[in-house]
Amino acid sequence: MICLFLLLGTSEIYAQRRAEAQKLNRGERVQDLSNTQEIARYINNVNYTDIYDRSVLMYASSKGYTRACRILLRRGANPNLEAIDGLTAGMYASYYGHTKIIKLLLGKGSDPNMQPLDGMSALMMASQNGHTEIVQLLLDYGANANLQAADGFTSLMLASQNGYTGIVYLLLEKGAKVNIQDSNTKTTALIQASLSGFTDAAILMLVRGADPDLQDKEGATALITASLNGQIDFVKLLLDNGADINLKCADGTDALFLASLNGHTEIVKQLLEKGAKPDSLETDGTNAIIITAKDGIADSIKMKLYESFDQKLHNPEQLTATVATTEDGHLEAVELSADKGIDPGLLTNSTKATAFIRASQSGHLTVVKVLLKKDVHIDVNRTVKFTDLMTASMNEHSEIVKLLLEKGANPGLKDNEGKTAVDYAANSDIKNLFRRTSNPDRIQQE
């Protein structure tokens, strides 16, 4: 089995989902509140915990029962007690946005820098979920803006990936470092903001010295991810701030290639105007394994892995693909299933590679990152190399084909099968563009 993720590891974004609160009707909630207050008043040991080391104060903090919290704290409840997973009352209140309660807890000595097993501090939780007032309170009480979770994520990364500009500002004012990279993917807060095009947050970080050319573990920069997802305003901002248009990922992917592949014409124009060079030499292009799929499956992959960002969904689904090997040794995706979240065990027991998903009928191409389970025997060295012109031609992006040709793209470059961008021309408009190219002699002859 192969797991598919949006190119450049964006599905590895660390974003703990908000757990749905227990659905109580009004009458049940009133009764629960009354019961909790009764317990708070009369329980003999205010620090009593259940088998998971959760205290009454933690429960009241998670539910937003301010009066019960006040009673418990007045009676001496310890705000720094930790549950078995390391969570505290302050973390519960911060996560669910209960401002009055976090204020009470801090006033009674709650430590804002405690971290549970996953490393997500109260400040990280509030930053991730957009609770600006709580972020301000925590910072005022000494919360460290540069603490990192177990995977290396910071409060700034979490606020940036969700577009909470006000929180980004508060964190920067309290000394949040803009160029910290996480431990798993080496992503940055700027890269996280680029995924959905949060330019206001990016402006604040660039002013504070954010490096637009920092690359993650796969070699991606904020410019590359913004180009992938069609974030034109973000691309313009990065280019105005000196982002290097020529940086490439390890597989040869760059900003121009991804914008050409996905049909982001305005971004292609911007990159070319800034001096980006189309693929023109045999050494150019992007290497990847290729997986064919029926058009319906290929369309589903593209929709789930790309369009989720247009809908501002910051936790795209994990797709698991059943991939078969055909008689001639090629790979074909035959079935898809979707799951929420990423299995940590899968991340540690898999190898990552770039793959092209090619629709068997239309020929359209989608580029993804795949996690290959270590016990799956696939020849990852059996790759193909496509140029930006080839992918634009395959995906019927006529205007981009024209732009690339005008800037010197070589239509004669061949892939592993000996095919050129001309061979992949998917419609008459593109075929005519190749016929009218001003340099027909550049097309290699057989």
Summarize the confidence of residues 283-294 as an average pLDDT. 78
Coil, strand, or helix at residue 397? coil
Angle between helices 122-129 and 89-96 (to 10 degrees): 10
SS3 letters for 255-291? HHHHHHHHCCHHHHHHHHHCCCCCCCCCCCCEEEEEE
Element (H, E) at 139: helix 132-140
The pLDDT, as a whole number, for residue 310 is 47
Kindly report the pTM of this predicted structure.
0.84
When the candidates are 3.40.50.300, 3.40.50.2300, 1.25.40.20, 1.10.10.10, the CATH number that belongs to 145-273 is 1.25.40.20
Where along the chain do its domains lie? 45-144, 145-273, 286-397+421-442
Residue 371 has pLDDT above 70, yes or no: no
Give CATH superfamily name and number for 45-144: Ankyrin repeat-containing domain (1.25.40.20)
Which structure tokens are listed for 208?
């504070």
Topology match between the domains 45-144 and 145-273: yes
Q: Angle at Cα 347 formed by Cα 293 and Cα 325, nearest 5°?
A: 30
* Residue whose pair of structure tokens reads 């040794």 in the numeric block: 329
Percent of the chain scoring above 90 in pLDDT: 60
Summarize the confidence of residues 48-58 as an average pLDDT. 95
Residue 71 has pLDDT above 50, yes or no: yes
Q: Is 443 exposed, middle or buried (0-12, 13-18, 19+ CB in 10 A)?
A: middle
* Poorest-pLDDT segment among 3-12, 234-243, 257-266, 394-403: 3-12
Residues 392 and 400: beta-carbon distance below 8 Å: yes
In angstroms, rounded to a whole number, what is the distance separating the alpha carbons of residues 80 and 168? 27
